[in-house]
């Protein structure tokens, strides 16, 4: 089971990957012209979607890998590459298509309910977050239900943070401005870059033990 330090590490890394602060402009764009109550509801649904998707991943992620006969090392390398691409976009303060494509952004404007798609998935709970949850689930070193359930704590904290950020999206946007949001996004991108390098290095070390000699 994770100790408190590992749970804290999981929560911080997930928060950096989900990056709800950097998603504020997209959230406000998708809910433009909405009432405060309707916008708050969309943020709440998006946060609940994050919790559900990542929670299910915590319990079923490795089973899916086994079904497709994918080793965790290979998945770690692939997930690390995806995170690195996301990190590069974030450090350049650019919108990554890994989080939301232009077509999804256009569709979001026309949808009555955008909390699930595209805000919850793939904007917040995208490939990077899903990959990280599976990696952390394996690192717990256990397959028991209780041990897997410990991941729900950092996932719940990140979902709660996303809800609070979206609930305060308007005042945060005015206070931080575009520059402030970009600074936060770049800092999150730097953290994600370091996480991605660790994932790639660990995966390659398992696939090619000679590299670590």
Q: Is residue 89 scored above 60 in pLDDT?
A: yes
For residue range 135-175, what is the model confidence (pLDDT) as tens digits? 887 766 545 677 678 889 999 999 999 999 999 999 999 99
Nearest 10 degrees: Cα torsion 198, 200, 205, 211: -100
pLDDT on residue 94:
75
pLDDT on residue 159:
97
Residue 144's SS3 state is: coil
For residue range 54-78, what is the model confidence (pLDDT) as tens digits? 999 998 888 888 899 999 899 999 9
Task: State what percent of residues in the chain have pLDDT above 70.
Answer: 85
Between helices 127-139 and 4-18, what is the axis angle to 10°?
170
| The total number of structural domains that make up the chain | 1
- The residue with tokens 């800092």 is 187
Cis check for the bond before 122: say yes or no (omega within 30 of 0).
Answer: yes
Geometric angle at alpha carbon 170, from 164 and 172, rounded to 5°:
65
Rounded to an integer, what distance in angstroms lies between the CA atom of residue 65 and that of residue 98? 21
Range of the domain at 159: 4-212
Q: Is residue 4 scored above 90 in pLDDT?
A: no
- Residue 163 gets which letter from DSSP? H
Is the Cα torsion angle 4, 5, 10, 13 positive or negative in sign?
positive
What's the Cα-to-Cα distance from 3 to each of 52, 77, 162, rounded to whole Å?
23, 25, 24
pTM: 0.87
Distance of CA 174 to the CA centre of its chain: 24
Q: Is residue 99 scored above 70 in pLDDT?
A: no
pLDDT on residue 106:
60
């Amino acid at each position: 089971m994770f100790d408190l330090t590992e749970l804290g590490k999981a929560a911080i890394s997930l928060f950096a990957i989900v990056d709800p602060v950097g998603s504020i402009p997209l959230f406000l764009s998708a809910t433009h012209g909405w009432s405060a109550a309707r916008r708050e509801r969309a943020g709440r649904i998006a946060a609940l979607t994050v919790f559900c998707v990542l929670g299910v991943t915590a319990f079923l992620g490795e089973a899916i890998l086994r079904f497709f006969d994918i080793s965790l090392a290979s998945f770690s390398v692939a997930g690390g590459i995806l995170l690195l691409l996301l990190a590069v976009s974030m450090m350049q303060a650019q919108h990554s298509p890994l989080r939301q494509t232009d077509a999804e952004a256009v569709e979001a404007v026309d949808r009555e309910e955008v909390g699930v798609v595209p805000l919850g998935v793939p904007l917040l709970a995208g490939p990077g977050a899903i990959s990280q949850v599976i990696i952390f689930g394996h690192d717990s070193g256990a397959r028991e239900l209780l041990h897997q359930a410990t991941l729900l704590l950092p996932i719940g904290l990140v979902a709660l943070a996303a809800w609070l950020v979206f609930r305060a999206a308007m005042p945060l946007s005015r206070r931080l401005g575009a520059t402030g949001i970009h600074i936060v996004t770049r800092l999150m991108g730097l953290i994600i870059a370091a996480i991605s390098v660790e994932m790639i290095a660990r995966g390659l070390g398992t696939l090619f033990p000679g590299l670590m000699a």
